[in-house]
Amino acid sequence: MGLIRAVFDAAFKQDMRRMKPVGPRWPLLLFHVDTGGCGGCGMELQALRYAPYDMEGAGFGFVTSPRNADVLLITGALTRAMAPVLEAAWQAMPTPKGLIAVGSCALDGGMFPENYTVLGGLERRVSIDLKIPGCPPAPQDVLNGLCSLFGKQAVPPKEAETSAV
Partner 1 sequence: MNAASHIWAGEETETPWRFRLQEMAWRDLVDALKHDDLPFVGLWCDGTDVHALFLPDGQPLAATLALEDGRYPALSPARDISCLYERRIYDLYGAEGMWATDVRPLLDHDVWSSSTPLAEHPGAGGGQKGLIHFQPAEHMPQEGDMADGWGPATGGMEPPLHVALAMQEGRIRAAETVTGYAHRGMELRWRNSRVEDACKLSARVAAGQSVAHQVAFCLAVEDACKEQVGPEIRLLRVALLELERICHHLFLLADMARLAGARLVASGCMGLREKLLQEAAPITGSRLLMDVCVPGGLSLRHATQMGDMCGRLCEVAERDYPALLALWQEYPGLSMQLAGIGKVTADLLERVGLDGPTARAAGWDCDGRRMMPGYEGIWRFTSGRQDGTAEDRAMLLLEEVGESLRMLDEVASRIGLTAGGSVQLSMQDSEGTGMVEGPWGGILYWVRLKEGRVEQVFARNPSSAALLTFEAILPGHQPDDVALLARSLDINAAALDQ
| Sheet-wide strand order for 98-102 | 60-62, 28-34, 71-75, 98-102, 130-132
Work out what residue 140 binds among partner 1, ligand SF4, none; the CB cut-off runs from 5 to 8 Å by kind: none
Please report which residue ranges of the chain form alpha helices under DSSP H.
40-48, 83-92, 104-108, 139-148
Indicate whether 94 belongs to the interface with partner 1 (CB under 8 A).
no
Work out what residue 121 binds among ligand SF4, partner 1, none; the CB cut-off runs from 5 to 8 Å by kind: none
The one-letter code for the residue type at 105 is C
Q: How many CB atoms lie within 10 A of CB 136?
A: 24
Bridge-based pairing state of the strands 60-62 and 71-75: unpaired
Distance of CA 35 to the CA centre of its chain: 12
Indicate whether 145 belongs to the interface with ligand SF4 (CB under 6 A).
no
Question: Which residues are registered as beta bridge partners of 32?
Answer: 73
Q: Are 51 and 161 in contact (CB under 8 A)?
A: yes
- Please pick, from the candidates 14, 46, 127, 153, the single residue that binds partner 1 as defined by CB under 8 A: 46
Indicate whether 90 belongs to the interface with partner 1 (CB under 8 A).
no
4 vs 104: CA distance, rounded Å: 19
Residue 6 vs 132, nearer CB to ligand SF4: 132
Indicate whether 159 belongs to the interface with partner 1 (CB under 8 A).
no
x-marked contacts with ligand SF4 along 47-86 as a string, rule CB under 6 A: ----------------------------xx----------
Residue 73 vs 147, nearer CB to partner 1: 73
Residues forming contacts to partner 1 in the complex (CB under 8 A) are 31-40, 42-47, 49-52, 62-66, 76-77, 79-86, 88-89, 111-112, 115-118, 135-136, 138, 157, 162-165
